[in-house]
Amino acid sequence: MNGGRAHRPGIFRIGCGAAALVLASSACGALDTDFGGGEKDGAAGQGGGQGGGRGGGVVALPVSSAFHVEGRGMRLVRSGEREAVLQFELFNGTRDEVAPEDLGIDAREQLLGLVDPSHGTAYAPIGTGGADALVGSGDAIGPGGSGTVTAVFSAPPKETTEMLVAVSGLLPARVKVQPQGADGLKDDAVLHARRAERRVEPLVCKTGKAGPQATVGFRLSSDVLFAFGSATLLPDAQSALEGIAEQLKEVGGNLAVEGHTDAIGDEPSNQRLSQQRAAAVVAALRGRLDGAVAYRADGAGETRPIAPNARPGGGDNPDGRAQNRRVELQLTLAPSASASAAPAPNGGTGLADAGLRWRVDRVERLAGHVLAQVKVSNPTARALPLDFENHYSPEDAPTPGRVTASDQGTRLRYEPCRFLAPTYYDFIGNLGQNFTPKDAGSVPPGAEVILWSLLAAPPQQTGSMDVQVTGFPQPQPAEIATG
Same domain for 180 and 236? no
Residue-number span of the structural domain to which 130 is assigned:
2-192
Q: Are 435 and 447 in contact (CB under 8 A)?
A: yes
> 163 or 235: whose pLDDT is higher?
163
Flag the least confident range among 94-108, 136-150, 418-432.
Answer: 418-432
Which of 296, 316, 333 corresponds to the end of one domain?
333
Same domain for 63 and 139? yes
pLDDT digits (tens, 9 = 90+) for 147-179: 999 999 999 999 899 999 999 999 999 999 999
CATH (domain of 285): 3.30.1330.60
344 pLDDT band, cuts 50/70/90, is low
Same domain for 34 and 176? yes
Residue 322 belongs to a domain: yes
pLDDT digits (tens, 9 = 90+) for 245-287: 887 877 788 999 999 999 999 999 999 999 999 999 999 998 7
Q: Which helix (H) or strand (E) holds 174?
A: strand 173-178
**Cα–Cα dist 466/224, whole Å:** 30
**Cα–Cα dist 40/367, whole Å:** 19
Same domain for 142 and 269? no
Residue 197 belongs to a domain: no
DSSP 3-21: GGPPPPTT--B-----S--
DSSP 59-90: EEPBSBTTB-EEEEEEEEEEETTTEEEEEEEE
- What pairing do the DSSP bridges indicate for beta strands 200-209 and 121-123? antiparallel
**Overall domain count for the chain:** 2
112 pLDDT band, cuts 50/70/90, is very high
Residue 230 belongs to a domain: yes
Same domain for 59 and 99? yes
